[in-house]
């Protein structure tokens, strides 16, 4: 299925997503595709068959869904078929996303179907939350080590892993932090409700550890004005609902489901919470900062470095339910602290996470070749 037919596209990009359902990497894709408009043609293959992010694209974006039965568990058997599909696409750039699409990177490196390759690495699932899996380290070295490959990472933690553990060349690894459209998000005015809302936006998956957040919220039971708002959907929703009921939280926990308008739901929150076991540079955190919210979070990825020092001091060293509960209680009981941290977070978002700089660097990355090889923004900035 194709969308948008205006003009002749400059480049054809062949994207392979483990899932094209709404998530951080997919939202960034939508940002970029909407920015490029009709300039590029996008072929998108979602390994799990979920194409939900297509709804976020403007009409002028040229998007073709690819259907291919190459399940992850048997992907290596399909390398020749992957090569045939990529060759037939006549694409200019292969774009792969995270571990779930790594076999496509390997197929392209060794079978040379598409001349340029960009790989996005945004973070890890629960199996790599605390350590790198040796088999995966070796596989990434093989799949991503080609000279025609550029690896985009949004955090310094991932940059270090790519250089030290995956042993990629310095010129291959590009640190390119995420940015958002700040005009969509504005600091909420003083809320008049007697209730205070702790909220988060996350896919309901094990590595997000929303069980931890519900457990931490349960320790604040003597603060009856507090509510918990969980925005997102996923495989853990039923189990999390049961957990909330078992803890006697009743209607104090609200499950909203997925949204394509996070700015509206962030305006309902007083505190933004992040309870993940693994993150790198979460877009939801940037959106919360842009909305002028104080943050309670586990100390994962680049979170401490993303926040201004006033808020980072609360997060530093937070690794478990008890320490997260302490943060939440402190913010819940101190309205002035919430206001100060929220203002500092909004200021940091304006200074550091405006999407205009991010989009400018992607213009360079996805520029048509000029005879000097694949375009690349400065990997050291």
In a domain, 377, yes or no: no
In a domain, 151, yes or no: yes
Whether residue 280 is found in the same domain as residue 360:
no
Residue 224's pLDDT is what?
86
Tokens encoding 179:
């940015």
Whether residue 120 is found in the same domain as residue 197:
no
Whether residue 254 is found in the same domain as residue 168:
no
Residue 131's pLDDT is what?
78
Burial of 340 (0-12, 13-18, 19+ CB in 10 A): middle
3-class SS of residue 41? strand
In a domain, 58, yes or no: yes
Could you tell me if 200 and 298 are in contact, meaning their C-beta atoms sit under 8 angstroms apart?
Answer: no
Residue 189's pLDDT is what?
56
Residue 106's pLDDT is what?
93
**Would you say residue 329 has pLDDT above 70?**
yes
Whether residue 164 is found in the same domain as residue 276:
no
Domain count, the chain: 2
**Quick one: DSSP state of residue 82?**
H
Distance between CA atoms of residues 113 and 283, nearest Å: 32
In a domain, 199, yes or no: yes
Q: What is the CATH number of the domain that holds 278?
A: 3.40.50.2000
Q: Of 74-83, 228-237, 363-372, where does mean pLDDT reach its minimum? A: 363-372
Q: CA-CA distances (angstroms) from residue 340 to 169, 216, 242?
A: 42, 23, 36
Whether residue 326 is found in the same domain as residue 232:
yes
Percent of the chain clearing pLDDT 90 (strictly above)? 70
Q: CA-CA distances (angstroms) from residue 20 to 68, 130, 164?
A: 14, 26, 30
- Name the band, by pLDDT with cuts 50, 70 and 90, for residue 190: low
- Name the band, by pLDDT with cuts 50, 70 and 90, for residue 117: very high
The closest of 372, 373, 294, 361 to 117, measured between CA atoms, is 373
Whether residue 81 is found in the same domain as residue 66:
yes
Name the average pLDDT for the chain: 89
Percent of the chain clearing pLDDT 70 (strictly above)? 91
**Would you say residue 376 has pLDDT above 70?**
no
Q: How would you label 348-364 residue by residue, b for 16+ Cβ within 10 Å and e otherwise?
A: bbeeebbbeebbebbee
In a domain, 3, yes or no: no
Whether residue 172 is found in the same domain as residue 194:
no
Q: What is the mean pLDDT of residues 92-100?
A: 95
Whether residue 129 is found in the same domain as residue 206:
no
Whether residue 57 is found in the same domain as residue 138:
yes
Whether residue 139 is found in the same domain as residue 30:
yes
Please give the model's pTM, rounded to 2 decimal places.
Answer: 0.79
The closest of 318, 316, 321, 265 to 293, measured between CA atoms, is 265
3-class SS of residue 152? strand
In a domain, 4, yes or no: no
Whether residue 207 is found in the same domain as residue 90:
no
In a domain, 6, yes or no: no
Task: Show the 3-state SS of 257-306.
Answer: ECCCCHHHHHCCCCEEEECCCCCCCCHHHHHHHHCCCCEEECCCCCHHHH
Q: Of 136-140, 188-192, 315-319, 322-326, where does mean pLDDT reach its minimum? A: 188-192
The domain in which residue 217 lies consists of: 182-352
Whether residue 175 is found in the same domain as residue 187:
no
Distance between CA atoms of residues 342 and 350, nearest Å: 12
In a domain, 378, yes or no: no
Residue 191's pLDDT is what?
56
């Amino acid at each position: 299925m194709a969308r948008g037919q205006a003009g002749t596209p400059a480049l054809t990009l062949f994207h392979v997503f483990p899932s094209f359902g709404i998530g951080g990497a997919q939202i960034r894709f939508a940002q970029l595709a909407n920015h490029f408009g009709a300039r590029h043609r996008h072929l998108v293959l979602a390994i799990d068959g979920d194409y939900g992010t297509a709804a976020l694209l403007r009409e002028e974006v040229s998007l073709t869904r690819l259907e291919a039965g190459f399940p992850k568990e048997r992907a290596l058997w399909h390398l020749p078929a992957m090569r045939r599909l990529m060759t037939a696409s006549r694409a200019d750039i292969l774009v792969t996303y995270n571990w779930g699409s790594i076999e496509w990177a390997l197929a392209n490196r060794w079978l040379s179907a598409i001349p340029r390759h960009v790989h996005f690495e945004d973070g890890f699932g629960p199996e790599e939350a605390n350590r790198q899996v040796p088999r995966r380290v070796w596989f990434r070295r093989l799949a991503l080590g080609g000279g025609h490959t550029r690896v985009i990472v949004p955090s310094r933690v991932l940059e270090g892993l790519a250089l030290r553990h995956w042993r990629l060349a310095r010129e291959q690894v590009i640190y390119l932090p995420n940015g958002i459209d700040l005009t969509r998000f504005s600091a909420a005015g003083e809320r008049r409700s007697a209730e205070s809302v702790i909220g988060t936006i996350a896919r309901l998956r094990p590595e997000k550890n929303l069980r931890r957040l519900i457990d931490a919220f349960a320790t604040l039971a003597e603060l009856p004005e507090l509510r918990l708002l969980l925005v997102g959907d996923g495989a853990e929703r039923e189990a999390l609902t049961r957990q909330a009921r078992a803890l006697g939280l009743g209607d104090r926990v609200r499950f909203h489901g997925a949204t394509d308008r996070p700015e509206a739901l962030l305006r309902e929150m007083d505190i933004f919470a992040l309870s993940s076991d693994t993150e790198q540079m979460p877009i939801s955190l940037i959106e919360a900062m842009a909305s002028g919210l104080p943050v309670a979070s586990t100390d994962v990825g680049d979170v401490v470095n993303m926040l201004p020092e006033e808020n980072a001091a609360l997060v530093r060293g937070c690794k478990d339910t008890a320490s997260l509960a302490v943060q939440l209680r402190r913010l819940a009981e101190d309205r002035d602290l919430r206001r100060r941290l929220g203002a500092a977070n909004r200021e940091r978002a304006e200074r550091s996470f405006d999407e205009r700089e991010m989009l400018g660097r992607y213009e360079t990355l996805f520029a048509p070749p000029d005879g000097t090889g694949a375009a690349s923004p400065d990997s050291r900035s």
